[in-house]
């Protein structure tokens, strides 16, 4: 669950960086460049964190988890976290609702690829 929380935090950091850039009167070309950089950041940050976490916890016992089930567990916890964030943002910060909705879309859009 903690890993999915950190990964969702990366999404929030990227969204806030883009939101700040758009609010600062950024030119459309500049915004598109920021979106490309943000997409690369998200991919690199997520990959690096998951790899490092996997290395750091490789020797720990995971009796509840089947061999190779880490990805399924991560997807389940990420889905749970995104659902929580959608409810939270809808209630407390409706202007931020796009962040968890985008995250949820990213999660479910990859399901058919596996």
Domain hosting residue 29, numbered range: 2-63+70-113
Q: Of 110, 113, 107, whose CA–CA distance to 8 is shortest?
A: 107
| Residue 60, SS3 per DSSP | coil
How far apart, in Å, are the Cα atoms of 90 and each of 51, 54, 76, 87?
33, 33, 21, 5
pLDDT, tens digit (0-9, with 9 covering 90-100), for 61-98? 766 667 667 888 888 999 999 999 999 999 999 999 99
Distance, CA of 55 to CA of 39 (rounded, Å): 24
Neighbours of 3 (CB within 10 A): 19
Distance, CA of 109 to CA of 93 (rounded, Å): 25
Report how many domains make up the chain: 1
pLDDT, tens digit (0-9, with 9 covering 90-100), for 21-34? 555 555 666 778 88
Question: Residue 14 is part of a domain; what is its CATH number?
Answer: 3.90.1200.10
- Rounded to two decimals, the pTM is 0.77
Q: What pLDDT does residue 84 have?
A: 96
């Amino acid at each position: 669950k903690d890993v999915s929380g950190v990964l969702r935090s990366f999404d929030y950091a990227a969204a806030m960086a883009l939101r700040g850039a758009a609010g600062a009167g950024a030119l459309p070309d500049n915004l598109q460049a920021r979106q490309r950089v943000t997409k690369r950041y998200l991919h690199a940050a997520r990959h690096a964190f998951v790899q490092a976490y996997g290395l750091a916890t490789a020797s720990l016992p995971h009796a509840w988890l089947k061999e190779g089930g880490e990805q399924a567990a991560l997807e389940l916890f990420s889905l749970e976290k995104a659902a929580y964030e959608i409810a939270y943002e809808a209630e407390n910060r409706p202007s931020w609702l796009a962040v968890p909705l985008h995250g949820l879309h990213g999660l479910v859009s990859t399901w058919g690829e596996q």
